[in-house]
Amino acid sequence: MKITGIFFFIVILIILMMTSFYSGSCANNKNIKIVQDTLIKYQDGIYEGQSRHIYTGEPFWGRIRIAIENGSFTRVNFMIRDSNLHETFTRKYKKHYKGNPEYIQQVKNDSKGVKTYSKKLIKTQDINKIDATSGATWSYNIFRASAGEALRKAVKK
């Protein structure tokens, strides 16, 4: 009986230690910040990228065109297209969600993000300094993935 009690105590102790270790390591990950490599230099030119990011089950594609002059972003055009309806995702896209106020609000939020992310990239000159517009994580993720595709082509080798 004593051996069973000791065994049970050791198992509980191990579980508590593992839980403590796991939660501690997760807490530390929240403090990790992505720092842009200041050694990355971009070639002047116009670069295009497109991506669906992780939303591969949806018909939406982000498309971006980034103009770089003297190593700086000078023009950025970003849009999201619905490849099934052959329609650009804007605030007017809410017509597809009549009667669904949550989706209508989501369209408003994400279309605002689509309009602002390009301006933010020109202003900050750093993709890692752009925060998502409130409620517009979907368009933010597609923007970042599309910009990443374009900027991979622009890196000086």
Evaluate whether residue 37 is within a structural domain. Answer: no
The structural domain count of the chain equals: 2
Q: What is the three-class DSSP state of 139?
A: helix
Statement to judge: residues 79 and 27 lie in one domain = no
Cα angle value 98/142/47 (rounded, 5°) = 130
Please report whether residue 39 resides in a domain: no
pLDDT in single tens digits along all 157 residues of the chain: 566 666 555 656 566 555 544 444 444 433 333 334 456 789 999 999 999 999 889 999 999 999 999 999 999 999 999 999 999 999 999 999 999 999 999 999 999 999 999 999 999 999 999 999 999 999 999 999 999 999 999 998 7
CATH number for the domain harbouring residue 122: 3.90.1010.20
For residue 68, give the nearest of 151, 141, 152 by alpha carbon: 151
Containing structural domain, residue 135: 45-154
Domain identity same for 122 and 84: yes
**Same domain for 88 and 121:** yes
Determine, yes or no, domain membership for 1.
yes
- Residue 4 confidence (pLDDT): 62
pLDDT of residue 156: 80
pLDDT of residue 90: 95
Q: Give yes or no: residues 25 and 70 share one domain.
A: no
Same domain, 6 and 66: no
Do 93 and 133 reside in the same domain of the chain?
yes
Q: Tokens in use for 87? A: 């329609």
* Cα separations in angstroms, 65 against 1, 15, 85, 148: 72, 51, 22, 11
Residue 57 φ/ψ, nearest 5 degrees:
-85, 0
pLDDT recorded at residue 41:
86
- pTM to 2 decimal places: 0.73
Same domain flag for 71 and 120: yes
Q: How far, in Å, CA of 144 to CA of 103, rounded?
A: 22
Tell me if 117 is assigned to some domain: yes
Same structural domain, 20 and 55: no
Domain assignment present for 134: yes
Co-location of 15 and 68 in the same domain: no
At residue 125, φ and ψ (nearest 5 deg) are: 60, 20
Structure tokens at 24: 């501690």
- Tell me if 7 is assigned to some domain: yes
